[in-house]
Structure 1
Amino acid sequence: MKRILCTTALTVGALIAAIGLPAGAAHADTAPRIDLRVLVVSDGGPSTDAIAAELDVAGTPYTEIDLTEADRPVIDAELLADTVDGRPRAKYQAVVLPSDNPFAAGSAEMAALVAYEQTYGIPQVDAYTYARPEAGLNYPVEGGYAGSLDGVRAEVTDAGLAGPFGYLDGAVPFEDNSPTVGESYAYLSTPVAGADFTPYVDAAIPGTSQRGSLVGEYRHDGRRELVVTFVYNQYQQQFRLLARGIVEWMTGGVHLGASRNYFAVHVDDVFAADDRWNTELNCTPGDVDCPDGAGTPDPIRMTPGDVTYATDWQDSRGFTLDLAYNGAGSVEHRADNGGADPLADRFVDERAEFRWINHTYTHAFLGCEQDTTVVPWRCATEADGSTRWVSRTTIGDEIAINRAWGESAGLPLENDELVTGEHSGMKVLPQQTDDNPNLALALEDTDIAWLGSDNSREPQQRQVGPSTTVPRYPMNVFYNAGRAAEQVDEYNWIYTGRAQGGSGICEDNPATSTCLTEPLDTATGYADYIVPLETNTALGHVLANDPKPHFIHQSNLAEDRIAYPVLNGVLDGYDALYADDTPVVNLRMKDIGTELQRRASWQAALDGVTAYRIGDAVTVEAPDGVAVTATMPTGTTLAGAAFGEAYAGERSGWTPSAGIPLTLDLPSSAPPSTAAGAAAVTDPAPDTYVPQGTREPAAD
């Protein structure tokens, strides 16, 4: 049965008038203004939340309307468009809906959206919708599929590679992290006969020789929809792979904000030796997790051969490690070995192959003075009960002497970078609830601008005196393990229950994500369990536009060299997924800090940013002192010069605003900002319908 657009049966002319366009504006010579902002209409489900999260991280402005809130704004012509200085304005460059039509039958809100999209050529993303003719697809019961896609390898089609997903190599693997938990649900179906539908991502339909669409573009009634027929959340790899393309499709590659894939690895304690885990005592002799006098330290230290391996590995991967060094480690080794230190000599010979970070001279703990007579340790106190702090002079000497040692060795240093031993000096819960007040003073004395911090303790950047922190992800490759069997033994002790001989941390903290139901085999557990898990975790950070570095220790590059399987897993996994024009971005610490700082400033200023497109010109106005981030098509110019840097087939980057409008000139090849004119209005998008007997999955 044919349905009218809404109960008032608006004509095309009435729709245009309702949106706020002057008569004939759809065909006027003056192009309308399209604001660079996205409208996200959410139902509280994970799919719209995932797209909103992608916009958040990239710094792309959006307005969210939650359909579950009773006092939400009504979506009508006034909310969507108006007139500015006599020019019609579309307030949103794209619309994201939870499905192709989340409203009740005859909805005036859906009618307003349809008219808006037709009039201004605004694209619509159906974040997760059922495969049905109203979305350009056959019902799954008609030769398609509805069910789990766990472990399935989807593919980007030729049209997808030539279009919004060209930054991928082709494969889109769906996660299957647990055999007992359903992680994905999808509808696979073919386009309706005669429909103008182009699949961009598809997968084989089980039991047939056909492939069904998972992401595709449906063009109808003067509108364009990106139809997504699988459910996802913001953390799943399949979404992370496709998120960039979804945003590029909805914006035509013209939007504020930018996204890249970053990976940096810091290797701590270089030149020093790391104490070894004792598999019998379940602690590390010589370190604070063992009682004083328990066991004999058995240090792990790299060899010259390990340096050669590291340089060869870097050359083969096109990747640079950041080495956080402790000069005293070499001085002490020479003192104990007749002046010889082949490791330091080899590193100094190869110093230009690496990036170097000051890690303090002796790796001393720079917070409170530690009382290690108890386990866990506690802060020593003065007679009056106040905390006894490591002095300003001691902290300053640790920084300055290590810097002088590095300079004398010719290490190519950035002297404003610092990682303290164990991130000490900053608060460490539960023992030390505040920063050492002497830390900020010493950082000022030594001109430190960037201070490494532990992301597991403090994921946000903050100021410590004159320094800005750079949160670092700790990899679960332990500092006190040089051999795979030691790593597994310690992993088993930490993550199993007390009845199994473990620490019981998971019993005390059930939310711990790495808990084990039974101990791993010490001979195979590292390669079979820990490496895939750590690879997946780190790769997830890489795919999430997250520039924060990861850190391991020099012990992990020694003996069994247990870090490399994880690092290779991340880089090999990435190379298998992305095209050559979308490389991993490998920044040093201060550049990561700058990127995070710019993002914070941009997010704080975003409500005061105005950006819009008129024809082939984009204008951006931002507060003075705030750098503008944007993504534009290749060929875009700013003041006659190429805008930004090439990445993923586009141009993106940061540009100082100086408080004056920036004008970006788009190439003639850029997609038009509006439709040529209002299309004839036929049927509205109907209600979502699920045939009887087919399960519509609950949001995961």
Structure 2
Amino acid sequence: MKRSIRTALSAIGALIVSLGLPAGTAHADDVAPRIDLRVLVVSDGGPATQAIAAELQSDGTPFTEVDLTQSGRPTIDAAFLSDTVDGRPRARFQAVVLPNDNPFASGSAEMTALATYEQTYSIPQVDAYTYARPEAGLSYPTSGYSGSLDGVTASVTAAGKSGPFGYLDGNVPFEDNSTSVAESYGYLSTPAAGADFTTYVDAPIPGGSGRGSLVGEYKHDGRRELVVTFVYNQYQEQFRLLSRGIVEWMTGGVHLGASRNYFAVHVDDVFLSDDRWNSQLNCTPGDIDCTTSGGTESTVRMTADDADYAVAWEQRQNFTLDLAFNGGGSVDEREDNDGTDQLADKLIADKNQFRWINHTYTHPFLGCVQNTTVVPWVCQTTASGATQWVSQSDINGEIANNKAWAQTNGLTLDSSELVTGEHSGLKVLPQQTVDNPNLAPALAANGVTWLASDNSRESTQRSAGSALTVPRYPMNVYYNAGRQADEVDEYNWIYTSRAQGGSGLCEDNPATTTCLSAPLSTSTGYSDYIVPLETRIDLGHVLSNDPRPHYIHQSNLAEDRIAYPVLDGVLDGYAALFADDTPVVNLRMKDIGVELQRRAAWQSAVAAGQVTAYRIGDTVTVQAPSGLAVTATAPSGTTQGTGSFGSAYAGAVSGWTTPSAGTLTLALPSSTASVTAVQPASTAAAKAAARKTAPRTRVPAGTTRKVAYSPHR
């Protein structure tokens, strides 16, 4: 027995020398290596490695990128990959992402170093997009398929569901947004003879009776590879569906950062009436930019029946709407109807079915004083040329009066949240290049710390005095439309050419992604085109770990109730893709603001090198600046001190926590696989892994850029 221990120690000692580690740091009985919680992404500039890097960035997972196309890049050798800290062997990276199974020249010392490193520390490798070949555990695709996967529906196998892709229900649809652009390409093949290969995602082989692997795990030579044989970019739905599983596989479910699927919907102008689109004038009478004579104002306002429908819809979808309300609208309605407002009575009776947000009392413009004698409007100026601003007193009144109305009617508000009319008060380009200087003190005086902004104008969170903005996605369901025909007519006007009777917006802005080649039918265009297109756009946000809310208007819940088909499309489409343990996360505005704030601080600290995290056995240690909220994902059963860590999502636990004194310690469940000691590596096997470079793979034009969504897959 003593002799076998000496032999093992001798082999490990020789390995340590080959890795450049100080001799005597590894002991067969008690040394578990330190594995830093950081991913190495070796990129070739292609879309697949860029997509994985983007996913890690979005999640808040630290990574180091080495671009093989750049001169002066670091050499990937033993010293780059590992060293010793406090007498303990350290693996600098918990996972390796390569463009393919071997992107280096045949016999490369860098590939040998990577293979040795992976063997030694049990580090997994992701082949982001590789050719199907025996070196990757697969048969050549000559007996399978090589070609376009546009519009294909792949499936998660039983092994995938019990493994890294268990958060999915089963189907993985591939996009097909354009019939004129190739958007995906892949190799469908079966495991090579004798290979220890487990398929996680597969698809039927065209012209055959079998199925071929698209994502699978290949075990060989003491190494594990996730072999992906199709190309993708960070925006495509197929990647968005699989990206979580790729990250969880490569990290063993233990990593900094987290990802969830968010969807929140704000309904603006509740209790007000919204002006209606005029199809003859191609504008909205009552709007300041609709100055054509002959237009008769017409409005759209919810009814009590619409309120009942909203409650029933919420209960059916198990989803809560956020109602951004203007109490002055109800006051006006009662004045015009002998004290009666059936809509307000009904919504107030069902007030606990919704979340309520202050949208100001009467919805005025709170920026500069508008000069509407010209189109487009401009800011009114004094004789000396100074901009005239809506006063702090007026802004205070709009906020406070709406709060008072809510209190009188028993609505529960969070006073820290505010949506101003048209997001006014914030800068509006090109007319108003700065925020109203009276806005910030009014916000502070009323305790507002979260202020809605328009994501199409400002997509990042920023300060407005002591408040932070919460960017919101505008949905292409218009405020001035309660009927499908009005929505389609306005959509046609905006997105068709002048020759077709449209605005010419797309001619002036060719980058616009929702342009039409011909006008839509006003009777079928909404259900056949606008609904599926808007559904896909909004679902894309949900699948992108993006907590920003979407917003519509009360008019969209009235008359034809045109918002619901889109909302149903998102929620029903999501439910068909994801398992029950991965629900849509429906946060209120304040919580979304906090999430965005934490992410910004976390990303800044990670980028500045202020966060260190590592795993030794079943213990994870994170060191960060004091007061910084830390985000992490871990297996179920992970504990923090004497309590549990995080909350359950997608078969794991994740969340934010602010550690005391800047140090967080997590105890992983004992069932979690871990490296208990440095493993002896086979030099011959490592060299064999580097023997043959991977063949070039095909990357279609539609994968190198984002192809605009279409109504159909």
**Could you say which TM-score interval applies, normalised by the shorter chain?**
over 0.9
Pairing 1:140-151 to 2, within 5 Å after superposition: 140-141=141-142, 143-151=143-151
CA deviation profile, 1:48-106 (whole Å, cap 9, x unmatched): 11101111111000011111110111111111000001000000000001111111112
CA deviation profile, 1:531-557 (whole Å, cap 9, x unmatched): 111000100110111000000000000
Q: Aligned partners of 1:283, 1:172: CA distance in 2, in Å? A: 42
Deviation of the 1:27 alpha carbon: 3.7
Q: Aligned partners of 1:169, 1:684: CA distance in 2, in Å? A: 35
Deviation of the 1:35 alpha carbon: 0.4
Look up the equivalent residue of 1:517 and give its one-letter code: S
Q: Counterpart of 1:336? A: 336
Q: Counterpart of 1:373? A: 373
Matched, 1:509 2:498: no
Structure number with the bigger relative contact order (C-alpha 8 A, sep ≥ 6) is 2
SS, match of residue 42 in structure 2: strand
Matched, 1:71 2:75: no
Deviation of the 1:697 alpha carbon: 5.2
Q: Aligned partners of 1:414, 1:477: CA distance in 2, in Å? A: 27
CA deviation profile, 1:594-619 (whole Å, cap 9, x unmatched): 01101111111112111100011111
* 8 Å contact kept, 2:31–2:677: no
Pairing 1:449-464 to 2, within 5 Å after superposition: 449-464=449-464
Q: Aligned partners of 1:144, 1:559: CA distance in 2, in Å? A: 53
Look up the equivalent residue of 1:310 and give its one-letter code: A
Structure-2 change in CA distance of 1:140 and 1:675 (3 Å):
farther
Look up the equivalent residue of 1:110 and give its one-letter code: M
Deviation of the 1:690 alpha carbon: 4.0
* 8 Å contact kept, 2:257–2:631: yes
* 8 Å contact kept, 1:264–1:321: yes
CA deviation profile, 1:559-586 (whole Å, cap 9, x unmatched): 0000000000000010000000000000
* 8 Å contact kept, 1:620–1:661: yes
Q: Counterpart of 1:614? A: 616
Q: Counterpart of 1:578? A: 578
Q: Aligned partners of 1:648, 1:475: CA distance in 2, in Å? A: 28
Deviation of the 1:289 alpha carbon: 2.5
* 8 Å contact kept, 2:185–2:698: no
Q: Counterpart of 1:647? A: 649
Deviation of the 1:386 alpha carbon: 1.4
Which of 626, 636, 639 does residue 638 from structure 2 map onto? 636
Look up the equivalent residue of 1:631 and give its one-letter code: T
Q: Aligned partners of 1:329, 1:450: CA distance in 2, in Å? A: 23
Which of 669, 672, 677 does residue 671 from structure 2 map onto? 669
Q: Aligned partners of 2:434, 2:441: CA distance in 1, in Å? A: 15
SS, match of residue 608 in structure 1: coil
Deviation of the 1:26 alpha carbon: 7.5
* 8 Å contact kept, 2:620–2:666: yes
* 8 Å contact kept, 1:58–1:259: yes
CA deviation profile, 1:102-124 (whole Å, cap 9, x unmatched): 11112111111011001000000
Q: Counterpart of 2:43? A: 42
* 8 Å contact kept, 1:621–1:661: yes
Q: Counterpart of 2:131? A: 130
Look up the equivalent residue of 1:593 and give its one-letter code: G
Q: Counterpart of 2:599? A: 599
Q: Counterpart of 2:261? A: 261
Pairing 1:411-450 to 2, within 5 Å after superposition: 411-450=411-450
* 8 Å contact kept, 2:461–2:470: yes
Look up the equivalent residue of 1:618 and give its one-letter code: V
Q: Counterpart of 1:362? A: 362
* 8 Å contact kept, 1:613–1:673: no
Structure-2 change in CA distance of 1:389 and 1:120 (3 Å):
same
Q: Counterpart of 1:238? A: 238
SS, match of residue 437 in structure 1: coil
SS, match of residue 659 in structure 1: helix
Structure-2 change in CA distance of 1:294 and 1:62 (3 Å):
farther
Q: Aligned partners of 1:688, 1:491: CA distance in 2, in Å? A: 52
Q: Counterpart of 1:684? A: 689
Deviation of the 1:642 alpha carbon: 1.1
* 8 Å contact kept, 2:100–2:694: no
Matched, 1:201 2:206: no
Q: Counterpart of 1:487? A: 487
SS, match of residue 632 in structure 1: strand
* 8 Å contact kept, 1:263–1:586: yes
Look up the equivalent residue of 1:119 and give its one-letter code: T
Pairing 1:89-488 to 2, within 5 Å after superposition: 89-141=90-142, 143-291=143-291, 294-488=294-488
Which of 658, 663, 676 does residue 656 from structure 1 map onto? 658
* 8 Å contact kept, 1:100–1:685: no
Q: Aligned partners of 1:635, 1:554: CA distance in 2, in Å? A: 44
Look up the equivalent residue of 1:581 and give its one-letter code: D
Deviation of the 1:14 alpha carbon: 5.4
Look up the equivalent residue of 1:297 and give its one-letter code: E
TM-score w.r.t. the length of structure 1 is: 0.96
Which of 616, 627, 630 does residue 629 from structure 2 map onto? 627
SS, match of residue 49 in structure 2: helix
Q: Counterpart of 1:6? A: none
Compare 646-655 and 657-666 and name the one that shifted more.
Answer: 657-666
Deviation of the 1:665 alpha carbon: 0.7
Structure 2 residues not aligned, in runs of 5+: 1-10, 705-713
Matched, 1:500 2:500: yes
Q: Aligned partners of 2:260, 2:310: CA distance in 1, in Å? A: 26
Q: Aligned partners of 1:110, 1:475: CA distance in 2, in Å? A: 48
Look up the equivalent residue of 1:52 and give its one-letter code: A
Compare 378-387 and 446-455 and name the one that shifted more.
Answer: 378-387
Q: Aligned partners of 1:145, 1:675: CA distance in 2, in Å? A: 42
SS, match of residue 329 in structure 1: helix
Structure 1 residues not aligned, in runs of 5+: 1-10
Q: CA RMSD in A?
A: 1.5
* 8 Å contact kept, 2:301–2:555: yes
SS, match of residue 415 in structure 1: coil
* 8 Å contact kept, 2:427–2:435: yes
Deviation of the 1:658 alpha carbon: 3.1
* 8 Å contact kept, 2:35–2:614: yes
Deviation of the 1:660 alpha carbon: 3.5
Q: Aligned partners of 1:442, 1:660: CA distance in 2, in Å? A: 35
Matched, 1:559 2:559: yes
SS, match of residue 238 in structure 1: helix
Look up the equivalent residue of 2:626 and give its one-letter code: D
* 8 Å contact kept, 2:328–2:361: yes
Deviation of the 1:255 alpha carbon: 0.4
Deviation of the 1:29 alpha carbon: 2.3
Matched, 1:61 2:62: yes
Look up the equivalent residue of 2:689 and give its one-letter code: P
* 8 Å contact kept, 1:367–1:425: yes
SS, match of residue 457 in structure 2: coil
Structure-2 change in CA distance of 1:189 and 1:623 (3 Å):
same
* 8 Å contact kept, 1:82–1:89: yes
Q: Percent identity?
A: 71
Structure-2 change in CA distance of 1:499 and 1:12 (3 Å):
farther
Deviation of the 1:689 alpha carbon: 4.5
Q: Aligned partners of 1:329, 1:498: CA distance in 2, in Å? A: 37
Q: Counterpart of 2:17? A: 17
CA deviation profile, 1:210-242 (whole Å, cap 9, x unmatched): 110000000111110000001000010000000
Deviation of the 1:209 alpha carbon: 1.2
Look up the equivalent residue of 2:147 and give its one-letter code: G
